[in-house]
Structures are given as structure tokens and as C-alpha cells.
Chain A
Amino acid sequence: MFSAFETVAKFVSDWGTLAFDTPYARAVVFGVPIRGHLLVEGLLLVVILFLLSQKSYKPPKRPLTKKEVDELCDEWVPEPLIPSITEDMKYEPPVLESAAGPHAVINGKEVVNFTSANYLGLLGHDKLQESCTKALEKYGVGSCGPRGFYGTIDVHLDCEARIAKFLGTSDSILYSYGLSTMFSTIPAFCKKGDVIVVDEGVHWGIQNGLHLSRSTIIYFKHNDMKSLESILENATHDNKRAKKLRRYIIVEAVYQNSGQIAPLDEIIKLKEKYRFRVILDESNSFGVLGSSGRGLTEHCKVPIEKVDIVTAAMGHALATEGGFCTGSARVIDHQRLSSSGYVFSASLPPYLASAAITAIDVLEGNPDLITKLKANIATLHKGLSDLQGLEIVSNPESPIVFLRLKRSTGSTKGDLQLLEDIADHLLKEHSIFVATSKRSTVDKCKLPTGIRLFVSAGHTESDLAKASESLKRATALVLAGQ
């Protein structure tokens, strides 16, 4: 037994010695003979391969059991649907009992109305009423369908052609709501990766359009051309991919939030230098600026072909509702299929489109409306030039007269409270109806609030004199000591 074991041991050691001693298993490394190194290397290789093939240690993944998920769902408490209502949220605007013309009726009293943007006084004009009545009798009220599915009525096509003819562009497209014009146009042209340079004082419609477009957005200081130029310089300096990248500048002609007018001629010079496209929102300047009412392009003597896309809401000078966009044929045709507010929404009611056509006809036939409006703006500016506590911050030619507190109380809420007190006092004691500019919680604009007066060609001299007088008295009372 023992001898058998000895034989086996001797056999193994012989074999081992053989393995160690065979000629190819000998090597001389740095003068030291090593024997049997191949076996060791072979063993090492096997061990390495074994370790590599093992999976790295991960803690075992245990999906949540049904009971755990139930517990989590039970203990989750959502926030309430809306934050709690505070006193200032319960604000109810004054209710009109008549049309919102230059003189309106509130609570049985007649007031002078400075809150409606009917710059040319066309609200309630006989010709518009007539054409609306005819359209209502012929077409009913609504159009009952989107433009693609039998919602295109011949008045829409006529209106688009009329607007294009008036402005001198090749085509235009109608939207059924003023606010949706901008937030449908911008995502149709600006896609992810494009660069947009925008004024910081633009209104919510444009902000929403920018957010939906997912492009890179850069803001420049409100109406400051130097800031714009430096940003354009930086943007083009870094990015050399001009072939695929589209670049836009978006400005408003007359800013709703401050009454400033954009200097279009300088913007066009910058645009041509740095190769950007310009999108211009002419809601408050269409029918107001320029000698025949064609807007900012006429006012600044810029040919309209240089502005790539012009949009406007018709709820201002044209005294109807809806919006339009105009530009070259390529621009307009593209929007007919890719602008979501046009394709997926019902079209403008036909009577509003026919009102728009009549309004443009009246405007073209009576350019003295524009001169009257300009005269009214100048009179109001003079009358409001030395108020206690309030200063005019809007451009002297803009139809929106924007009054701001000379010294702020420190918080937006405090400012707004003071301004609302002034507006209330004006309405109750002096029968002048003005509005403060309110901001939504989702609005990103940081410009200070103020009191807005919309001047109309329908206001008489006595109206404007009364307004200036009353404002002086109201500010002296409410802002005493400011």
C-alpha cells in the first residue's frame, strides 16, 4: 500500500521534473536559469481567463414588490391643484354695459375709455357693422372646421389677398386668434439647434413660441442696439456652421410691455451684416405708424421685402379678432402645413374676416384717421408730461402711453397696488377708465409694471384734456409724499 503510494508520488514528481526539465521549459533570464516557466505561465493564463470571465459584483436588483408599491402609492400626497387664493387674486375687472368704444358705459355711468386698443376708432363703425351683418346672415357665426377640412371660406381667401395687397407682400395667412399667431409661427420655422436673439421685453405669446421651438435663445437688453450688436457678434463668432443653422432676430414693432418702438433701420443693417433673419410682430403698429398705416416698415423707410416674416394680431387697429402672418410665398406656404395653430384649429369666423377686409378698405380710403391719431397722441403726451410720481416711458409716437412710477415701492406687488389705487380712483371719481399692466405667473418678462393708456382716433380734444386733468389730481392724491 505504502509502496503503491510511493510509486504514484514518484511518478508525479518525475512527470513534474520532466515538465520542468524539458528543453523548451528552460530559459535563462538575466543570467539566472529558470526551469519550467512555461507551465507557470500557462497556469497564470488560465487563472486570468477564469477571473475575467466572472461577472463583476453588482448588488442584486430587487424590483419593488406589489405590497411596497401599494404602500408608496398610499403614502404619496399630491400638492393641492391650485395654491390658496389670496385677496388680490379675487380681482374682478369692471364690467362694460356697451361697446368698448372711446366712450363706454360702466355701472350706468358714461366713462372715457382708454383700455381698448381700437387705435383708429373703427369699433362700431357703420361700414364694419354692415359687412358683419351681411356675413352673419350669409355664413352663420362659426366656420365649423379647420382650414384643411371645408373650413376655408371664400372670405378667408379674400382677406388674405387683401392684406397681402395692402402691405405689398406676395401672400399672407390668417390665424383665428391673435395670441396664437406668434406661438404657432415661431415653432414652424425655428427648430432644435437654431439660434434666436430676442428682446427681453416681448409678450407671452412670443415667449411660449420660443419655449416650444426648443432652439437656443439669447435675450438682449430691452430696445438696446448696442447689446444686440454685441450678442450678434458673439453668436456668429463662435458658430461657423452657417450652412445648416438658421438664425433669427425677433422683435416687436411697438412693445406691449413698455410702449417703446424698435429702430427697424438699425436692426436691418445688423441683420444684413451678420446674416440673420428678422421676425417682426406688428400688432400695435399696423394701421398706426407710417403715413398710410402700413406699419413700422413704412415709418422707418425700410422696404418690406427685407423683413422675412411679419405677424400681427388684428384685435388692435383693425377692430376685429384673429391674426395674420405675411412674407414671401415660400414662408407662407410652409406654414399652411406645419403651423399647428393653423392646421389643428378651427378657422376664423367668416364675419370677422369680412370685418377685417372692410377695415382695411376704410383705412386706405381715409388716411386722415392716422393723422388724427398722431395728433391725439401728441396732445396726451403734452398733457401728461408733468405728473407727480409718474413718468412717461413710452416713445412719443407710440399709441400706447405707458406711465411708470418714478420711485418704486420696492416690490412689484406694492407697485401694482399703488397703480390699481390710482386706476380705481380715476374710474370712480373722474369717470376715466384706464388699466394697469398685469402679469401672469408664467410670464418671464421682468420689465416694471405701469399704467397703460391706449389712445384712439375716436377720442376728442375734451376727452384728452379731461384725462390729463384727472390724472394730475389722482396722482396728487394717491401718491402724495412720493
Chain B
Amino acid sequence: MITIPYLTALTTYFSYGLLFAFGQLRDFFRKIFDWWSHNSLQGYAPICLGLEDFYIRRLYLRIQDCFNRPICSSPDAWFDVVERVSNDYNKTLKRTTRVDRCLNLGSYNYLGFAAADEYCTPRVIESLKKFSASTCSTRVDGGTTTLHTELEECVANFVGKPAAVVFGMGYATNSAILPVLIGKGGLIISDSLNHNSIVNGARGSGATIRVFQHNTPSHLEKVLREQIAEGQPRTHRPWKKIFVVVEGIYSMEGELCQLPEIVSICKKYKAYVYLDEAHSIGAVGKSGRGVCDLLGVDTADVDIMMGTFTKSFGSCGGYIAGSKELIEFLKHSCPAHLYATSISPPAAQQIISSIKVILGEDGSSRGAQKLARIRENSNFFRSELQKMGFEVLGDNDSPVMPIMLYNPAKIPAFSRECLKRNVAVVTVAFPATPLLLARARICISAAHTREDLIKALEVISRVGDMVGVKYFPAEPKKQQLEGEGIKTD
């Protein structure tokens, strides 16, 4: 839970109110101007009504240069950010040929597979020559190659389930699986901070959706009991089945899910557990096998395990792992398997090679080194930031750490000042987070060295002082005062 200090809440509301007022004023003048000059689309309703893109036109465009920054190298620990200029107050941005070499604290590159790797890249290029860049066909028609079957076995083995099926995009995996497994008459109970793909998949399925408080197993139990006792809305018939959807690591909070409690509650009330490990597979756990490995949950207790390959494996695509019957059923009826082009063969080879490196099957200990390094890096960085007085969210061992900014003016200030000092950070605001709780999100990678992290800490500390985001008193460097640091919940 984030508790926002009163003064900060007040100033944030005031800032948004001011921006809103100015925006409305400009809209008013724009309306007069438009009424004067005739629009060619008479008789057609405008494609976006006035208030729908108000936020985009009046608030987002002012800070547009903090988002969508193009890069022209691989997203490794250090990369090249292309500079952009604007001649019309940020309405349009043009690329220049100037390039800055920056430290990358924003890409999802947890194990450092983003750049060309000594084991993976030669094999990927070989598979490109053999199978070419795409199969141009769906999995059921002519898009299944030996590489795909090998990949599915490999993934099932890695995750710890009997079988797995792989799709070409993580987002589409969620959107296409939930409608197949559950329909009208079913109930989906999802965490309040679940990702947009799960929300879309749940809506597309037609089942009733209920939300439980973020990461609170007691509230989940309460909701389950109420819903089972009441039954379907209005008819009160019993539910056909109940799904509980949670994520391994929540990408905007950096928190780990309380999986053991949730699994025991679901077992007691006979609900099915759907675990989305987009950020945690490969990044946490002793051998990189995700939150089940880390928290000691038996994989047979989780009914459906889903994950993506974009983050820790440096590739693209998503998978579903479960029992053999489940995977057979999905292969028979999932639209993403039947209608969408199969995953590109070089990407599949990248996943297989990176799994082999993680498990140590390539003959070296690079995998274990990477896992140890990401754990050390995350814990070091988080504790240093907290000592400096920043408000950092997230649990230990999680490589995602959001730093709270709150005020809308601090978002572009933080982002631009860091970029000036060659550190690239990601700032997130509404609508990805609640309106008041804007934050900067740091993603640590195993490719970062200790010097990189120390430089990043220096820069962030200086910018934090300038912008004023050190909401907690910094811990003095003396050892004896260590216990007095204020902790967030």
C-alpha cells in the first residue's frame, strides 16, 4: 500500500487542477476557431469526441518527449538514444542524427540476453538460414516445424509442467486463452492491478468479473465466499467454474504475489488458479524458474501457468503450460493457435538457447552467474535508494523498482534531467497508474556492472535533490542509526 503524504497530495491535486483549467481554456478557443473555419467532414461524427482525447491533447503532448524515445542499437546495458527536436512546442518530434550513449535503466532485459550473445546468436542465425524468418502459416496448417515442437518440450521442462504451447505474442496469449477456457456463467476473480491483456481477455470471454484488493489473500477469501454463496447475478444459479487470476511480479509495483496463501485458499474453495509470470519467469528463483521456485509452491497446484519470453529471454512470444489434456484442448480450440502465424523460427531458437544457458546445459556456468548477479544488483540498488531517502516500492529480490514522483511536473523534470546526464529512465503516469501516483520505474539487468549501478545512483541522487522527490529523510551513513529508517508498507 502506498500512503501519500498530505502536502504532496494537495500539491498534486492543485497541479492537475491547474493543467485541467488551462486545457479547457485552450479547448474553448480552439472550438471558436474551428467554428469559424469550416471542416470538410460535414455529416460525419468526429473520430474522437472532445473529452475523449482531452488528456492526450492538453496534458500528454506537453511531456511527449519523455516517451517513445527511439534507440538505434540493441537494448543492452548501455545503448544509443536518438535525439529528437520539436519546432512546434512538442506537437510533433523529428529525429535528428545526433545520438547519446546512455545507461539503460528502462528495458526489460533481466538476464542480459538482449544484445548479441556468444552462445545464442550463432544458433539463431543458423536457424534463420534453415527455416527463414517466418513460416507464413498457422500452427495447425503448415506452420509447425521441428523447432516449434522442441521449443514446447523445452519450455514445459523448464517451467515444471507436463506440456506447454507457445504463441507469437504475449498479449495475444492472454486475450485468446481466457475466452476459450471460461465463458458466460463463469466467474473470474482478478487482482485489482492486473495487466491490460488479462483485463481484455477476461472481458472478451463473457464471464462475470470481480476484483479483489491487490495482493490481499484475506479479501480474496471474503470475495470467494460471498460469490459462491450468492451464485450467478440475478438467477442465483451456482457458478460453472471460478478462475483466480494473479501475476507473479506486478510490473508497476515491483511486488511479488503472495502465492502460497492464494493457492491454499483456491484449493479450499475449489477455484482454478491462473498465474501470469510475464516478469518473473527467468528472473527470480534459485534456478530462474519463477515465483513458484522462489516461494516454494508446487507447480502441480497452479492449474494454468502463463508467461512471456520478451523479458528474461530476449525474444518475443508467450506460452501456456499445464497438464497434457489442457494443452491438447487448447491446441484444438484456441484462436491464436488456429488463426495466427506461428512464432518466428529465429525467435524460437533464441528461447531454446537462452533456456539452455540458464539451466547450464551449454556447458558453462553463465546462467547461474547471471541469476546471482541480478539478485545482487537488485538488492544492492534498492537498499541504496532507500538509504538515500527515495520512496521505493517492491519486495526484495524483485528486479523492478518504482520510485514515487507523485507530482505531474516532476515527471518530465526527472526524465529530462536524467537524460541530460546520460541515464535513461522510464517514467509512468496516468493511465497506466492511478492519477496521483506517478512514478519512475527502474528495471535492473544482469548485464549491469557494479560501476554502472554506482554511476546511476549518483545521477539519480543528484536529480532527486534537484527535483525534490526524496520524500523520506536520508539515512545518515553511520551504522548505529540504521534502524530508524521509515519503511513503506
* Interface residues in chain A, defined as those with a beta carbon under 8 Å from any beta carbon in chain B: 64, 68-69, 72-73, 76-79, 81-83, 85, 88-91, 93-101, 104, 113, 115-118, 123-124, 128-129, 132-133, 136-145, 147-154, 156-157, 176-180, 183, 189, 191, 203-205, 208, 211-212, 242-247, 256, 275, 277, 313, 315-316, 319-321, 330-331, 334, 336-338, 340-341, 343-346, 348-349, 351-352, 355, 433, 435, 438-443, 452, 454
Residues on B with C-beta less than 8 A from A330 are: 47-48
29 contacts between A and B (CB under 8 A): A73-B229, A88-B332, A89-B332, A100-B143, A117-B137, A118-B136, A129-B128, A140-B115, A140-B121, A142-B113, A144-B107, A145-B106, A148-B68, A152-B71, A156-B70, A177-B168, A179-B172, A244-B49, A319-B133, A321-B341, A321-B344, A334-B47, A337-B56, A341-B172, A345-B170, A435-B140, A441-B180, A442-B180, A442-B333
Chain B interfacial residues counted at CB < 8 A: 116
What CA separation (Å) do A116 and B137 show in the bound complex? 5
15 further contact pairs, Cβ within 8 A, besides A78-B241, A212-B204, A351-B133:
A68-B229, A73-B225, A83-B329, A94-B142, A97-B146, A123-B132, A139-B73, A141-B316, A144-B310, A154-B72, A154-B82, A176-B316, A340-B171, A346-B308, A355-B133
**How far is the CB of B273 from the nearest CB of chain A, in Å?**
11
B363 interface residue per 8 A CB criterion: no
Residues on B with C-beta less than 8 A from A349 are: 315-316, 344, 347
Q: Which 4 A-B pairs have the closest CB atoms?
A: A115-B142, A315-B341, A177-B169, A435-B141
**How far is the CB of B275 from the nearest CB of chain A, in Å?**
14
CB-based contact B242/A78 at 8 Å: yes
Residues on B with C-beta less than 8 A from A438 are: 140, 338
**How far is the CB of B399 from the nearest CB of chain A, in Å?**
13
What CA separation (Å) do A123 and B142 show in the bound complex? 14
Evaluate whether A321 and B196 lie within 8 angstroms (CB atoms) in the complex, with A76-B238, A176-B316 already known: no
Evaluate whether A104 and B142 lie within 8 angstroms (CB atoms) in the complex, with A212-B200, A275-B43, A321-B134 already known: yes
B25-54 interface bits toward A, Cβ cutoff 8 Å, 1 = contact, 0 = none: 000000000000000000111011100110
Residues on B with C-beta less than 8 A from A183 are: 175
Residues on A with C-beta less than 8 A from B148 are: 95
CB-based contact B325/A144 at 8 Å: no
Residues on A with C-beta less than 8 A from B204 are: 208, 211-212
What CA separation (Å) do A389 and B141 show in the bound complex? 22
CB-based contact B47/A154 at 8 Å: no
**How far is the CB of A449 from the nearest CB of chain B, in Å?**
12
Evaluate whether A133 and B333 lie within 8 angstroms (CB atoms) in the complex, with A245-B45, A331-B47, A337-B56 already known: no
CB-based contact B328/A352 at 8 Å: no
Residues on A with C-beta less than 8 A from B67 are: 148-149
**How far is the CB of B137 from the nearest CB of chain A, in Å?**
4
Residues on A with C-beta less than 8 A from B72 are: 153-154
Q: Which residue of the partner chain, among A93, A150, A341, A348, contacts B104 with CB atoms under 8 Å? A: A150
CB-based contact B134/A319 at 8 Å: yes
What CA separation (Å) do A147 and B145 show in the bound complex? 30
Residues on B with C-beta less than 8 A from A441 are: 180, 333
B189 interface residue per 8 A CB criterion: no
Identify the stretch in B211-219, B264-272, B288-296 within 8 Å (CB) of chain A at 4 or more residues. Answer: B264-272
Residues on A with C-beta less than 8 A from B314 are: 140-142, 144
CB-based contact B142/A100 at 8 Å: yes
Q: Which residue of the partner chain, among A82, A116, A151, A316, contacts B325 with CB atoms under 8 Å? A: A82
Evaluate whether A140 and B113 lie within 8 angstroms (CB atoms) in the complex, with A76-B228, A151-B107 already known: yes
CB-based contact A100/B240 at 8 Å: no
Nearest-CB residue, chain A, relative to B203: A212
What CA separation (Å) do A154 and B43 show in the bound complex? 39
B446 interface residue per 8 A CB criterion: no
For window 424-457 of chain B, which residues contact chain A by CB distance below 8 Å? 424, 426
Nearest-CB residue, chain A, relative to B55: A337
CB-based contact A352/B335 at 8 Å: no
CB-based contact B121/A136 at 8 Å: yes
**How far is the CB of B87 from the nearest CB of chain A, in Å?**
16
What CA separation (Å) do A407 and B393 show in the bound complex? 65
B197 interface residue per 8 A CB criterion: yes
**How far is the CB of A300 from the nearest CB of chain B, in Å?**
22
Evaluate whether A98 and B131 lie within 8 angstroms (CB atoms) in the complex, with A81-B326, A89-B332, A93-B142 already known: yes
* Interface residues in chain B, defined as those with a beta carbon under 8 Å from any beta carbon in chain A: 43-45, 47-49, 52-53, 56, 60, 67-76, 79, 81-82, 95, 104, 106-109, 113-117, 120-121, 124-125, 128-137, 139-146, 148-149, 168-172, 175-176, 179-181, 195-197, 200, 203-204, 224-225, 228-229, 238-242, 269-272, 303-304, 308-311, 313-316, 325-326, 328-329, 332-336, 338-341, 344, 346-347, 350, 424, 426
Evaluate whether A115 and B141 lie within 8 angstroms (CB atoms) in the complex, with A99-B130, A147-B68 already known: yes
What CA separation (Å) do A187 and B147 show in the bound complex? 35
**How far is the CB of A62 from the nearest CB of chain B, in Å?**
13
Q: Which residue of the partner chain, among B45, B139, B224, contacts A243 with CB atoms under 8 Å? A: B45
What CA separation (Å) do A394 and B347 show in the bound complex? 34
Q: Which residue of the partner chain, among A154, A315, A331, contacts B136 with CB atoms under 8 Å? A: A315
Nearest-CB residue, chain B, relative to A437: B141
What CA separation (Å) do A157 and B93 show in the bound complex? 12
Residues on A with C-beta less than 8 A from B171 are: 177, 180, 340-341, 344-345
CB-based contact A178/B316 at 8 Å: no
CB-based contact B350/A142 at 8 Å: yes
Evaluate whether A137 and B116 lie within 8 angstroms (CB atoms) in the complex, with A179-B340, A442-B179 already known: yes
Residues on A with C-beta less than 8 A from B313 are: 142
Evaluate whether A440 and B334 lie within 8 angstroms (CB atoms) in the complex, with A90-B328, A93-B142, A150-B106 already known: yes
Residues on A with C-beta less than 8 A from B338 are: 438-440
Residues on B with C-beta less than 8 A from A129 are: 128-129, 132-133
**How far is the CB of B441 from the nearest CB of chain A, in Å?**
8
Evaluate whether A345 and B197 lie within 8 angstroms (CB atoms) in the complex, with A136-B128, A177-B168 already known: yes
Nearest-CB residue, chain B, relative to A73: B228
Residues on A with C-beta less than 8 A from B311 are: 144
Evaluate whether A85 and B329 lie within 8 angstroms (CB atoms) in the complex, with A176-B169, A208-B175 already known: yes
Residues on B with C-beta less than 8 A from A94 are: 142, 144
What CA separation (Å) do A472 and B225 show in the bound complex? 62
CB-based contact A150/B170 at 8 Å: no
Q: Which residue of the partner chain, among B69, B136, B200, contacts A123 with CB atoms under 8 Å? A: B136
Residues on A with C-beta less than 8 A from B116 are: 136-138, 140
CB-based contact A78/B240 at 8 Å: yes
CB-based contact A141/B339 at 8 Å: no
What CA separation (Å) do A140 and B346 show in the bound complex? 11
Nearest-CB residue, chain B, relative to A139: B74
Residues on B with C-beta less than 8 A from A145 are: 75, 106-108
CB-based contact B181/A82 at 8 Å: yes
Residues on B with C-beta less than 8 A from A343 are: 196
Evaluate whether A95 and B269 lie within 8 angstroms (CB atoms) in the complex, with A136-B124, A143-B75, A150-B426 already known: no
